[in-house]
């Protein structure tokens, strides 16, 4: 009897030791790292709808998986989730493996990474799905430019039957005294595109439009025109802005740093309005897409397909033509403010974002001055956008957070970097489209494709002044997103 008991104890002990060895072996054997990230990417992609974050991103589910307590680092300190945020190191990834453990996408922390894996990540400064360089093998402006590829046939103009139209409009924030300039822009865009598709125009002004303005703009198009006078609460400085402080800082910015328009209150108001209040204006409630038009711009190429329908059919959030660097003196605190916001809302970051474009360091002095931001941005005087992206809870919360910090008035935060940062972090980079086939000019920069449909510009010429060629950031965009 005693022998049987001893044998049972011995077998139990051996079983326990074997189980412990198997457990330790599994814990010390890291799963395939690339496959782990691919699994993460594929599962999280399913949690996104229409390019807006609806599920959890890496930061948020790490937070959830530890019940709100970040894992301790080697010094015993709780680690910050900022490794996915601009300019920060990959703290969590350095010490922990992530493994998909449940089919519903739940995650758990696994064994520490090997030194080789840590070094590989730190050397590349990229997460595994962020490929090193997607630049085209040939100069995009040296080859004939065709219309964009579409997952469904492009919508063409038709005289025989009405063509399907998107819920879209041209929009322009313009003053009465800019009538001549906006007429020029309208005539070129009507000739090149809208005479074939007849999309409406909506004009915005903080003052009442004059009779001459209304009559002459309506005469420039067969499409319907609408004229909107802005509500002062959407246009003027919010109550929390110290206008005397703003005036003092703006004069200093203008005189010391030679920042263009810094001393113009109307310019600050325009940047703020284009960044936030514009998207919720009642005049746009029946529209899904907009095309922004400014006075004194040029359109060089005939556009023979419905651009708005292309955006809709191909699930695009945003379209641009010109991609440039900004003046870092205008946005010194924009990036730190952005980082602060996304630390509070890491779930708003898209796993397939174009954040590396926002972080690249081809102009390190810009990164240093702004706290990490490259200053690359889509030049928003031309932009075609999906309104629901900017109306979304995520974007509106981001704008409201920026607005509360006062940078639109205490600095000169522009709508272009605000749009670009939001898009660069919040949406899939495949939903941002470079309209390489649309020839466009707003002095001093142009986009001019090589095409028989284009007249009046030189293919590939970015600016009439060669010393401004260094302001072009499109090559950095290609590295991250390609030419799509």
The residues that are catalytic are 383
- Tell me the sheet residues that pair with 376: 325
Q: Would you give the DSSP letter of residue 257? A: S
Rg (the chain; Cα; Å): 27
The pair of three-digit structure tokens given for residue 49, joined into one six-digit string = 């709808």
Put residue 260 in one of left, alpha, beta given phi > 0 → left and psi -120 to 50 → alpha: beta
Contacts of 303 (CB under 8 A, 6+ apart): 192, 193, 437, 438, 453
Strands 201-205 and 52-53: unpaired
**What is the dihedral angle through the alpha carbons of 170, 174, 176, 180, rounded to the nearest 10 degrees?**
-70
SS (H, E, C) 52-95: EECCCCHHHHHHHHCCCCCCECCCCCECCCHHHCCCCCCHHHHH
**212: enclosing H helix or E strand:** helix 211-219
Structure tokens at 454: 């284009």
**Beta-strand relationship, 48-49 and 52-53:** antiparallel
For residue 13, the SS3 value is: helix
- Interatomic CA distance for residues 291 and 71, integer angstroms: 46
The backbone torsions φ and ψ at residue 445, rounded to the nearest 5 degrees and listed phi first, read -115, 155
For residue 474, what are its two tokens? 């499109």
Q: Which of 340, 356, 335, 331 lies closest to 129, judged by CA?
A: 356
Contact by Cβ (8 Å): 439, 294:
no
- At residue 160, the 3 state secondary structure works out as coil
């Amino acid at each position: 009897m005693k022998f049987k008991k001893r044998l049972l104890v011995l077998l139990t002990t051996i079983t326990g030791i074997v189980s412990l060895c198997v457990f330790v072996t599994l814990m010390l054997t890291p799963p395939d790292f690339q496959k782990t990230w691919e699994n993460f990417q594929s599962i999280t992609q399913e949690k996104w709808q229409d390019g807006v974050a609806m599920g959890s991103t890496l930061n948020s589910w790490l937070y959830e998986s530890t019940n709100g307590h970040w894992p301790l680092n080697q010094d015993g300190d709780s680690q910050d989730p900022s490794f996915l945020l601009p300019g920060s190191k990959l703290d969590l990834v350095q010490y922990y493996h992530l493994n998909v453990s449940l089919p519903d996408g739940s995650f758990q922390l696994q064994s520490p990474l090997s030194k080789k894996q840590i070094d590989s990540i730190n050397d590349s400064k990229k997460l595994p799905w962020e490929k090193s360089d997607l630049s085209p093998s040939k100069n995009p402006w040296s080859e004939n430019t065709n219309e964009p590829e579409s997952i469904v046939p492009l919508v063409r103009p038709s005289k025989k039957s009405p063509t399907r139209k998107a819920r879209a409009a041209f929009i322009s924030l313009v003053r009465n005294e800019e009538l001549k300039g906006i007429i020029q822009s309208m005539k070129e865009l009507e000739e090149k595109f809208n005479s074939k598709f007849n999309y409406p125009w909506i004009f915005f002004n903080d003052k009442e439009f004059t009779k001459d303005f209304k009559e002459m703009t309506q005469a420039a198009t067969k499409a319907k025109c609408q004229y909107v006078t802005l509500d002062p609460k959407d246009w003027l400085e919010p109550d929390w802005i110290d206008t005397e402080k703003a005036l003092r800082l703006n004069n200093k910015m203008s005189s010391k740093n030679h920042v263009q328009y810094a001393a113009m209150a109307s310019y600050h108001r325009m940047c703020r309005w284009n960044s936030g209040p514009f998207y919720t204006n009642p005049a746009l409630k029946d529209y899904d897409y907009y095309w922004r038009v400014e006075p004194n711009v040029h359109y060089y190429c005939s556009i023979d397909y419905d651009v708005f329908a292309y955006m809709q059919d191909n699930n695009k959030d945003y379209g641009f033509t010109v991609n440039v660097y900004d003046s870092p003196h205008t946005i010194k605190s924009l990036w730190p403010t952005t980082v602060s916001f996304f630390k509070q809302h890491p779930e708003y970051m898209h796993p397939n974002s174009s954040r590396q474009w926002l972080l690249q360091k081809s102009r390190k002095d810009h990164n240093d001055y702004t706290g990490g931001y490259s200053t690359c941005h889509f030049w928003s005087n031309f932009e075609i956008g999906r309104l629901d992206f900017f109306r979304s809870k995520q974007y509106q919360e981001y704008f409201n957070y920026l607005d509360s910090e006062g940078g639109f008035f205490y600095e000169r935060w522009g709508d272009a970097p605000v749009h670009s940062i939001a898009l660069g972090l919040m949406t899939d980079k495949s939903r941002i489209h470079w309209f390489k086939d649309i020839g466009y000019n707003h002095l001093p920069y142009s986009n001019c494709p090589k095409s028989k449909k284009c007249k009046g510009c030189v293919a590939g010429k970015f600016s009439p002044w060669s010393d401004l060629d260094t302001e072009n950031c499109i090559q950095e965009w290609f590295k991250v997103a390609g030419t799509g």
